[in-house]
Structures are given as C-alpha cells and as structure tokens.
A and B are shown apart, each in its own frame.
Chain A
Amino acid sequence: MMETFAFYPHLPVLQVVVPMLAAPLCYLLIKPRLAWLFATLVSWLTFAMAVLLLLQVSDGTLLQYNIGNWEPPWGIAYNVDRLNAFVLLIVSGIAAVVFPYAWHSVQKEIPAKQQTLFFTAMLLCLAGLLGMTITGDAFNVFVLLEISSLSSYTLISLGKDRRALTAAFQYLIMGTIGATFILIGIGLLYMLTGTLNMADLAARLVDVQSSRTMQAALAFIVVGIGLKMAMFPLHLWLPNAYAYAPSVASAFLAATATKVAVYVLLRFLLTIFGVAFVFEAMQVQYLFLPLAVTAMVFASVVAIFQQDVKRMLAYSSVAQLGYILLGIALVNVTGLTATLLHLFNHALMKGALFMALGAICLRVGVATVDSMAGLGKQMPWTMAAFVAGGLSLIGVPLTVGFISKWYLILATLERGWWPLTVAILVASLLAVIYIWRVVEAAYFKERPADAKPVKEAPLGMLIPTWLLVLANVYFGVQTDLTVGIAQAAATSLLGGAP
C-alpha cells in the first residue's frame, strides 16, 4: 500500500535531504515561534521516515539508494541495513521529543534574535547526524560529520555562561583535529584501493591486508573517531561542552552525537577494515579494553565530585561510552549486542536526564546539587523523571539500563574475564553514589528559607520528558524489538549468518 506513493523509493535520501533543506527554510521564517513549529514538524517527519526505513530492512534486506542514479562505486550510494536503520531511529526519535520540548527552554536561555538561528542549527545538526549514519560512502561521512560538528559548535557557544564560548572553541579545535585525522585515514584508504564506496573498499582491502598504509589508516581513523566519540582519554572537550551548552542542545547532543560517532567507528572497524584485520591481525581490542575500563571507573569517580549536575551527567556519559567500547572490545556477538543496545538505551536515559535538568534550569536558573535542595516537593514530576532516568542509568531491573548491562555482563562471562564483570558492577555502584547525591538534595533536604518559591515545569516540557521516561521503562520490559534488532545486526557485523 505504501509502495504506491512516489516518494517511497526515495526515503533513504529524503531522510537527510528533508532536514537539510528545512534548515535554511527555517531561518527564512524569522519569527522564533514559527521556526520552532516548523522544526518540530520536520523532526517528526524524519522520525516517521526512520520508522518506515526500519520496517523495510527489519527482515534483513539491504536497501541501496544510488544518488542521482549513478551506479556505485562511481556515484554516492546510501545503504540502509538493520544497524544504521536502528541508529537512524535513535537519532530521529530523540530529535522528535527534544524539538517539541525546546520552546520554553529556548525562550528562557537564548536571546530572542538568536532563537530562529538556534532552531536552524539544530536542524543542520540533525541532518548531519542522520547523513553520517545512512551514507555508504567514506568521504561523505567526513563531509556530513563536519556539517553536524560545525552546527554543534554553534549550538554550544549559544550557552548563557561565557564559559560556553571557551568550551565551544575547545571542542572546535579538538573536533577539527579528529575530523582531519579521519580525512587522512580515508585518504590513505583511497590511495590503497582507488575507491570510496564502503562495500567496494571492504572488498578491495582484503588484498592489501598487511600493508603499512592500511595500518596507518586504521590508526588515524580510530584516533579521529575516538576524538569525536569522546573515547577516554580523548574526552576532554565533552564535560565543558555539555555543561555550558543551552539545556536543549545538551539534551540533543548528549543523546545523539556520540552515538553516531560510535556507529561510524563500528562501520569502519567491522564493515570496511573487517574483523580479521582489526581484531586478529591488529588486536585493537587490547587497546580498547584498558581504555574502556578506565573510562567506566575513572569518569564515574570524577562524576561523584561534581557540583554542577550537568557536568556530572557529562562525566557519566564518558563512563557510559566506556561500557559501549567494552562491548566492542569483547569481540563476541553478545558484547556487540550489548554495545548496540546501550547506544539505544543510553540515548533514552541521558535524553530523559538532561531534559529533566533543562526543566530545573528553566525554573531555578542553575542546576547545581545545592540549588536542587528540596525540589522534590516543588517540582514533583520533574524530579520523579530525573529519578527514573537515574535508576535507568544505574541499571535497575525494569529499566533499559538493566538490559544493556545484563548483556554486557553475560558477554564478559562468556569470555571468562570475570574481573571485567567486577569492573562493570563497581562502575554501576559509583553511578548509585552520584545519582544519590541529587536524590538526597531533592528529597531529604529542606528548601532554603530565603529561596524563591518554584513552580512545576510547564507541560510542554514535562510531556516530552515523560515520554522518554516511559520509553525507558517500556523498552526495559518489552525487549523484543531492541534486542532482536541489536542481536541480528551484531551477528551479521561479526560475519555470522544473519
């Protein structure tokens, strides 16, 4: 039935083109309110397209769309399989809840004349992230990466605090170095093979496995993507960027940007370079393992000592990326399943947490642990959302956080590496401590007598936040969809029968 529509075969390219064309149109609308409504509409549209794409590929078919009808490997092809359809769903799904949520927060945090530009930059960032995910061309990844990065530097620099400017500048420097490293890596691959199409690259690289150029390309690409995905110790830009960015931008970027970078890493390591080269010849997993474990434990400890709750969550993100990396480093299907699940689940929980914080920033002004004293009574729904998100972050059963950690622990046990199991549990306990600090302040401390009374956040913010919270619970109980897709994608990535 759907096939009768003329746009249907063009879904893969529309997924990127619609938000990208919507960005300049959004700017032409001038009035912030119109721009916001338009951006929200576009975000829902992209979400609908992502759902349709996922439905098409959920049985394992591979969609290929040749842009301008140029046959690959000469033209640029967009390839959709279960893995990137899943990531497209995450990115556009988060956009579809963050955009409607944005209005009140943007009103408060961003000067009126910059609001339209803010929504324009959000749409550009969305287009870049979706494009990185869907493209089947290695150079295209770099271009779309820069589109999303440049717009996210702008988004971060719009924060109220002047430190947002230095945070954005620092991210610009580190992000550009990362992107240039990726560019060098892609250049070296092109020198070896004369092609940029990912499938073609994968086929041709088999013949040059032992060349030093290929090893250098791998090194450049891993470090470059490591910078973009805030792989420990390349995470230094992340805490400041998330802490000082406008609340809406923090919520959107924390839930999507690093996830897409992880996807790009997986695509390069597993599809292009191939399991045999990356994990058997180069043994990359022994580089990833210590980094992942240090990130999990060290970043969680740092998070405990943060006063600013946004900063605390940012360090927690670094720790969560440690779990994601650990799943890759275990090199088994269960571990990779855990990684893919955690991409989805971490987006849900961090989205919910940052959105609850955005509501607190709206009413209280700042989100430090002290400023949240006694808020449990005055903003019951917001704080309840924060607690629910926190429980998910810790990994309590019936939330999504439990599902991904369960698979990760299973994967470590499958390998027989029990010290890693212990490390996962310790890191989860550390998460209990930093979430507890907020809970203690909000529910067990009295509001200071001289503090202004605070109202509950407006419904326009509460409803999207609670949608994510409910998703946290729903996907924590009903795991067929997420685990099914993740397992199938992981199996085919590691070269088993799909």
Chain B
Amino acid sequence: MNLFDQFLGHYNYWVVIFLMMTGFYAVIASDNLIKKIVGLNIFQTAVFILYISMGKIIGGTAPIVVTQTAEQAANPVVYSNPLPHVLILTAIVVGIATTALGLALVIRIKEAYGTIEEDEILAKDADA
C-alpha cells in the first residue's frame, strides 16, 4: 500500500483525528465557558464519525433482507453494519443531554458571577 492509499483510504479517520484534536484544543485552551462546550461538542462529533465510519462497507446497502435468485446468490448482497450507527445514536443523545446540562450550568454561573470567562471567575473566587 502506498502513501497515497494510506491517506485517501483512511480519509474518514484523518477527519476524525483532525476534529478530535480541534475540539480537544478548544476545550483546554479557551477561557470562555460556552466555547469550552462548543469544543466538547466538536470532540464528541469526532467520535460519532469514528463509529459511523466503522459501520460503513464500500458497496454495502441498507441492512434489509432481500430475496435472491440462484444466479444472484453467487454475488451476495453486502450490507453495512447497522450496529455502530445504533450505538452512536445513543451516544448522540448522551451528548445532547451533556450539552444541555452544561449550558444550564453556564446560565447559573452567569447569574452567580456575572461573567462566563474562566479567568474572571477565578479572580472573583480568589477575592471572596
């Protein structure tokens, strides 16, 4: 396998790694709490794509049973794996719940501190 195949053949996974690192960087580096949540979302989305990619089979169709004639059976229908897609549906729901809770906390923090910048919050806590 040459380098070209390595890159294009694993195109999805390069996207996953790029998104994952972008999100992770945003979570760590930004001071703004909303931006942190956005970063977290990008980070989680990367994992969604990882799972969706692993279920896909090139040339695969939707996983529905089809009746085949005898000569078609020599070339059986290939299905994509539905399980990773179902799994990640659960993870997407979890991600939404986490985002909702995180945003709710940000609202409460804004009410309590009057700011959502982490350095200002830390400064206010140090004063108190």
Contact = CB atoms under 8 A, between A and B. Distances in A.
Interface of A: 139, 142-143, 146, 150, 153-154, 157, 162-163, 165-166, 168-169, 172-173, 176-177, 179-180, 183-184, 187, 190-191
A180 B47 contact: yes
Contacts of A163: 125
A187 B54 CA distance: 9
Contacts of A139: 87, 90
B109 interface: yes
A52 B54 CA distance: 41
A169 B91 contact: no
A10 to B, nearest CB: 24
B27 interface: yes
A187 B50 CA distance: 8
B54 A191 contact: yes
A169 B113 CA distance: 14
A172 B94 contact: no
B44 A169 contact: no
B121 A150 contact: no
B43 A157 contact: no
**A150, A154, A165, most chain B CB atoms within 10 A:** A165
B57 interface: no
Interface of B: 24, 27, 33, 36, 40, 43-44, 47, 50-51, 54, 84, 87, 90-91, 94, 97-98, 101-102, 105-106, 108-109, 112-113, 121, 125
B101 A153 contact: yes
Contact of B91 (A142, A162, A177, A190): A142
B39 to A, nearest CB: 9
Contacts of B113: 162
Contact of A165 (B43, B98, B112): B112
B54 A172 contact: no
A169 B40 CA distance: 12
B109 A166 contact: yes
A157 B105 contact: yes
A204 to B, nearest CB: 15
A137 to B, nearest CB: 11
Contact of B94 (A143, A168, A169, A173): A143
Given A143-B90, A165-B112, A150 B97 contact: yes
Secondary structure dominating the interface of A: helix
A249 to B, nearest CB: 15
Contact of A150 (B36, B87, B98): B98
**A153, A169, A184, most chain B CB atoms within 10 A:** A169
B84 A169 contact: no
B108 A157 contact: yes
Contacts of B125: 163, 166
Given A139-B87, A165-B109, A166-B125, A177 B50 contact: no
A477 to B, nearest CB: 44
A184 B47 contact: yes
13 contacts: A142-B94, A153-B101, A163-B125, A168-B105, A169-B105, A169-B106, A172-B102, A172-B105, A173-B27, A177-B43, A180-B43, A183-B47, A184-B47
A150 B94 CA distance: 9
B112 A162 contact: yes
Contacts of A142: 91, 94
A20 B40 CA distance: 27
Contacts of B112: 162, 165
A35 B24 CA distance: 40
Contact of A176 (B40, B90, B109): B40
Contacts of B106: 169
Given A169-B105, A191-B54, 4 more contacts: A146-B97, A166-B109, A169-B102, A179-B94
A153 B105 contact: yes
B69 to A, nearest CB: 29
B47 A187 contact: yes
A184 B43 CA distance: 11
B2 to A, nearest CB: 20
A157 B112 CA distance: 12
Nearest to B102: A172
B60 to A, nearest CB: 15
B101 A172 contact: yes
